[in-house]
Every structure is written in structure tokens, then in C-alpha cells.
Amino acid sequence: MNKIQILKPDDWHLHLRDAEALKRTVTDVASHIHRAIIMPNLVPPVTTVSEAQAYRDRILAHKNKTSFSPLMTLYLTDNTTVDEIKAAGDSPFVVACKLYPAGATTNSDSGVTDVTKLDKVFEAMTEAGLILCIHGEVTDNDVDIFDREKVFIERHLKPITDRHPNLKIVLEHITTQDAVDFVLESSDNIAATITAHHLILNRNDLLSGGIKPDYYCLPILKRQAHQKRLQNIVLESHPKFFFGSDSAPHGQHKKYNACGCAGIYTAPVMLCLLAEFFEQHQSLSHFEPFVSRYGAHFYNLPLSDESITLTKESWSVPSKLPFGDDEIVPFFAGKQLSWRICDV
Ligand code: NCD
Ligand code: ZN
């Protein structure tokens, strides 16, 4: 097959950053992504509806003539109030709240220190029909970084789902067999997003033959058996598992550093990579549901009425892109991709 047309995809987990960076990040998705769940981990974080509205306006200023629609999220803290949740529920553009355990990842210092104290907030979210997006990793220093997702599920997520069975939850950027099993065993209110990079890479890619800062992200890449489980569930096509890129840009100076930032900038290549992934596994027909259908269904939103076309045409990914006053190395920099998105 040399051409595929799919409904315009959604990205259910995207970092756009702010200010100057928006020029790069919004342009790199706006023409081929219909809607995206916008992560609120700015500095300072987006914790109120009015901050989300102002951030949304700054994003929209860069969408040009596209129909790109940012779906906003509020960053939960120890001080999030029920009134703010109610206001979010009333707002037409806030669709979810994001739970970062404090210290779990980039810009999560203001995150939640004790999830058991959020019961009132979760009740209000259930009432308001807001979705809870979770970065599912514990932060304890005595838990190995490769086990943090599994331990979070046992220690925190299972109790949250037991206490709040009607709350809709997305366990984000899952990386383990344990997460796949948990989501499959849970009610229909529990779903998961999967990134392109966790499908394509495992921890050998990050660490074997030299450390690759461009492959460092959180949750960290896991062993191959976990990667295979993610691949299988996506290739089988299951409505509880949909695409969230977690495209997370950091300028080159912040990545190539003695204390390099976590985050991989996949936005310019993610759909082409996924097309290649599905094709290599003789499953191209499962590409569209993963990127354009299952997430919308879970979020109770209509499917896109636009489409995009990809053609089989080799191109090389630029080695660097301008990024504010720095540069950024996109995922797959300098490598060849076999699918290209046609201009619209
Ligand atoms: C994200 C970022 O840079 O904001 N980094 C990452 O490695 N994925 C934060 C996150 O989603 O964990
Ligand atoms: Zn993220």
C-alpha cells in the first residue's frame, strides 16, 4: 500500500510548553492533529481555569488556519479546591485534571504529596465529568526507577479506582506489562495512553553501547518483554489503549547536560513512525483506531470530520530544529522514515 487516509488523529497527552516555544511546538502538530490534551506542567503550573484559558489563547495564537483544538487540563496540587474543579467542569475547554505525584518528572515539584487527601477533589471530578490523567509512578528513592509504575498501580491506583469507581481515569504513557494487565482487568472507566517511543524503543536503546540522552524520558524505557506487551496490545487493537505522544521538548542544552532533562520530542515524526510500526507488523488497519478513534470514544467526544493522508515516500528527519533561542533534536534525527504526511 502506498497511500493511507485516516481520520485526523488526536493526541491524548502533549507538552507544548509556552512563550517562544509555542511557535515550534504548535506548528509541528497543528496541521495533522485534530485535538490534543495539553499538559499543564508549565513553570508555574496551570492550576486554575483562568490560567488554562489564558494558556489556551496563547496556544491558539499559533494554530494558523488549522482546526487544531487544544483540550486543557488543570494541574492538581495539595491545595486544589472543589470550587476550582466545579469551575473546570463548567468550562467548555477544560476536559481533564492531571495528577503528578510530587517530584515524579519534569516540572512536577508542585504535584501531589499524598493522593489519599484528594478524595473530595476526585468526587467533584466524577460529578463534573472530568477525566483524571495520571502520571503513574511512585517517587520513593527506595523504589527502583524501573519498578515505579508497577508500585504506583498497586499502592495508589488500585485504591483510587476502588474508592472512586465512577471516576474516568487515563493511566498515561504506560510502559509495563503490569499496566496493560491492570487496565484490562479494570472497569471501562479505566484506559491508558501509549507513546510512539515506548512502542519503538526499550532500555537497551537508551543504555547499551553508550547512553543516549535523546532517549531519556519518564517513565523510563523498560526491558524488551514490557515493550513487546505494549506492542501486542496496540497491534491487537483494543479500545482501552490509545495514542498519547508525550512529545516533550527540551532544548539541546538542557538535554545534553550533566543532569539532562527527561522528555523526547516526537511531534514532528510520531505519525510517520506509527504508520511504519503498524505496517511492519502487517496491521496498518489498526493505525486509525489507535490514533483517531479510541481516545475520542473514551473522552466522549465526536470523531474528527477531517482526514489526513500519508504516502509511502522516504524522507530524512532534520538533525536539529530551531527552538526559541536554543535548538532541539527531534526524535529519529538524521534517520530515514518511509511514510510522509501529505500537505493539506
Ligand atoms: C515530560 C516533560 O518534559 O514535561 N517528560 C517526560 O519525560 N515525559 C513530563 C512527563 O510527562 O513525565
Ligand atoms: Zn508527559
Any ligand 1 atom below 6 A from CB of 41: yes
User: How far is the CA of 136 from the CAs of 102, 151, 171, in angstroms?
Assistant: 11, 9, 6
CA distance 195 to 193: 7
Mutate to test the pocket of ligand 1, among 106, 110, 149, 198 (most ligand atoms within 8 A of CB): 106
Q: What pLDDT score does 344 carry?
A: 66
Going by CA atoms, what residue is nearest to atom 4 of ligand 1?
A: 106
Q: What is the mean pLDDT of residues 300-307?
A: 97
282 C-alpha vs ligand 1 centroid, how far in Å?
31
pLDDT interval class at 343 (50, 70, 90): confident
- Contacts (Cβ under 8 Å, ≥6 apart) of 79: none
State the Cα torsion 200-206-212-215 to the nearest 10°. 40
Mean pLDDT of all residues in 108-119: 94
Is the distance from CB of 106 to CB of 131 less than 8 angstroms?
Answer: no
Higher pLDDT, 188 or 1: 188
Residues of 59-81 as b/e, b for ≥16 C-beta within 10 angstroms?
beebbeebebbbbbbbbbbeebe
Count of Cβ atoms closer than 10 Å to residue 83 Cβ: 9
Residue 71 has pLDDT above 70, yes or no: yes
5 neighbors 291 (Cβ within 8 angstroms): no
Q: Is the pLDDT of residue 1 over 90?
A: no
Q: Is the CB of 288 under 6 A from ligand 1?
A: no
Q: Which of 286, 275, 307 is nearest to 241 (CA)?
A: 286
Distance 186 CA to ligand 2 centre (A): 23
The verdict on the CB of residue 175 being under 6 Å from ligand 1 is: no
Window from 53-62, 106-115, 127-136, 311-320 with minimum mean pLDDT: 106-115
Catalytic center residues: 246
- pLDDT at residue 78 above 80? yes
Cα separation of 69 and 94, whole Å? 12
Does ligand 1 have an atom closer than 6 angstroms to the CB of 135? yes
- Give the pTM: 0.98
Instruction: Report whether pLDDT(265) > 90.
Output: yes
What is the Å distance from ligand 1's center to 305 Cα?
A: 30
Residue 35: per-residue pLDDT: 98
Mutate to test the pocket of ligand 1, among 98, 105, 266 (most ligand atoms within 8 A of CB): 105
Q: Are 45 and 278 in contact (CB under 8 A)?
A: no
193 lines ligand 1 (CB under 6 A): no
Report the alpha-carbon angle 76-271-192, nearest 5: 40
Over 90: is that where the pLDDT of 106 sits? Answer: no
Reading the block at residue 143, the C-alpha cell is 523504589
Are the beta carbons of 150 and 180 closer than 8 angstroms?
A: no
pLDDT above 70: residue 66: yes
Nearby residues for ligand 2 (ion, Cβ within 5 Å): 246
In whole angstroms, what is the distance from residue 30 CA to residue 66 CA? Answer: 6
